[in-house]
Amino acid sequence: MHISQRAFLLTLASLLALWLAGTGLSFAARQPAWDTWVLKVDVIRNDGTRDLGSGVLIGPERLITNCHVVRNAREIRVSQGQDSWLASPVMGDAYRDLCLLRLPGHPGNPPPIAEPGSLKVGQAVYAAGYSGGTFGTSTGRVKGLFTCDCDGGKVIQTSAQFEPGASGGGLFNEAGELVGILTFKSHSGGIFHFAIPIGWMKQLSQRPLSDRQDREPFWENPSRSSGYFLAACDLSAKKKWQDLLQLTQEWERQEPYNPQAWMASGRANLGLKRLHRAARDFQKVLELDSTHAEAQWELQQLELELGQPLPGS
């Protein structure tokens, strides 16, 4: 390994640790600089096809994006306004879908970062990326926080919408802090947009260069083995309520203390017009997570629809 590259890799873990600890200016001290934090990624793949994505700066000459954005890339060029840089992958975790790029000569202007694990359901968030190749932002809320077989944080479902080209962009909280990396949408459409948590970057520095593009990301084939929530979101998008209810019954047996399992059950019962059963599911969610804003909202809507207060609400 070249000496300069060795030094770069040796310092990466400590740099990421500092960044993950929340260094950077507070949002109160400056307005969000979305377009200086989030850059455009142009890719020419080995078969000659072209594709677009986004990436988030994490320091001088360093950019985080999704591995699926740069998969099988022959050339990667990152641009910011009229300036562009020829980028190269340094390391990655294809399963978690996080890759680090090096941008020689880029001074870097990273955003502040939230404390990993601080995000709550119902919290306002902002998605920033190059949807369709044009920079833009959208506003929404955290709809769910889901566990999978990846340590370091929970996958974020958000109503802040984004389109192809925004993958690898940033999801920010109201304080202007980075909370996740925009990554994928449900295969079945709908408003099921997902970001991977910034806590997963801790594992990134432990991955070799070879673990960059060969594996499929965890979300690419929704199934029980890749996480109940992916299969549940797929069924929700298709409005297959009976199938969703059967899935959530299995999910609840496997993870009885997971509020998202009961949340999915409640939505299945809503779809099947079993309002009182749905109410019990949402109340169970609040027993497990009293701050769960989505369950609180659903119960309020049910009280209006039923015309009576619900026990324990």
Q: Are 14 and 79 members of one domain?
A: yes
Q: Does 219 map to a domain?
A: no
* Residue pLDDT, tens place only, 40-65: 999 999 999 999 999 999 989 999 99
Q: Are 57 and 12 members of one domain?
A: yes
Identify which of 32, 51, 39, 19 has the alpha carbon closest to the alpha carbon of residue 139.
32
Q: Are 107 and 160 members of one domain?
A: no
Q: How many percent of the chain have pLDDT more than 90?
A: 49
Q: Are 84 and 25 members of one domain?
A: yes
Q: Are 185 and 258 members of one domain?
A: no
Q: Does 116 map to a domain?
A: no
* Residue pLDDT, tens place only, 109-165: 889 988 888 889 999 999 999 999 999 999 999 998 888 766 667 899 999 999 989
Cα(64)–Cα(97) distance, integer angstroms? 10
pLDDT reported for residue 34: 86
Q: How many domains is the chain built from?
A: 3
Alpha helices in the chain (DSSP H): 3-20, 34-37, 67-70, 201-204, 228-238, 241-254, 259-271, 275-288, 293-306
Which of 173, 199, 225 finishes a domain?
199
Phi, psi of 245, deg, nearest 5: -60, -40
39 forms bridges with which residues in the sheet?
55
Q: Does 217 map to a domain?
A: no
Element (H, E) at 311: none
Cα(129)–Cα(164) distance, integer angstroms? 9
* pLDDT band for position 213 (cuts 50, 70, 90): low
Q: Are 93 and 128 members of one domain?
A: no
CATH number at residue 283: 1.25.40.10
- Residue scoring higher pLDDT (84 or 209): 84
Cα(186)–Cα(265) distance, integer angstroms? 18
Q: Does 76 map to a domain?
A: yes
Q: How many percent of the chain have pLDDT more than 70?
A: 79
* Residue pLDDT, tens place only, 163-209: 989 999 999 999 999 999 999 987 655 668 999 998 887 767 666 55
Distance of CA 46 to the CA centre of its chain: 27
* Residue pLDDT, tens place only, 259-281: 999 999 999 999 999 999 999 99
Cα(45)–Cα(60) distance, integer angstroms? 26
Q: Are 128 and 104 members of one domain?
A: no
Q: Are 58 and 87 members of one domain?
A: yes
* Residue pLDDT, tens place only, 63-75: 999 999 998 899 9
* Residue pLDDT, tens place only, 25-37: 333 334 567 889 9
| Residues 261/122/17/185 CA torsion (nearest 10 deg) | 70
Q: Which domain holds residue 68?
A: 3-111
Q: Does 32 map to a domain?
A: yes
Q: Are 8 and 103 members of one domain?
A: yes
Phi, psi of 78, deg, nearest 5: -110, 135
Residue in the block written with tokens 């389109």 = 163
Which of 111, 135, 150 finishes a domain?
111
pLDDT reported for residue 3: 39
Q: Does 256 map to a domain?
A: yes
Q: Are 37 and 104 members of one domain?
A: yes
Identify which of 300, 304, 249 has the alpha carbon closest to the alpha carbon of residue 272.
249
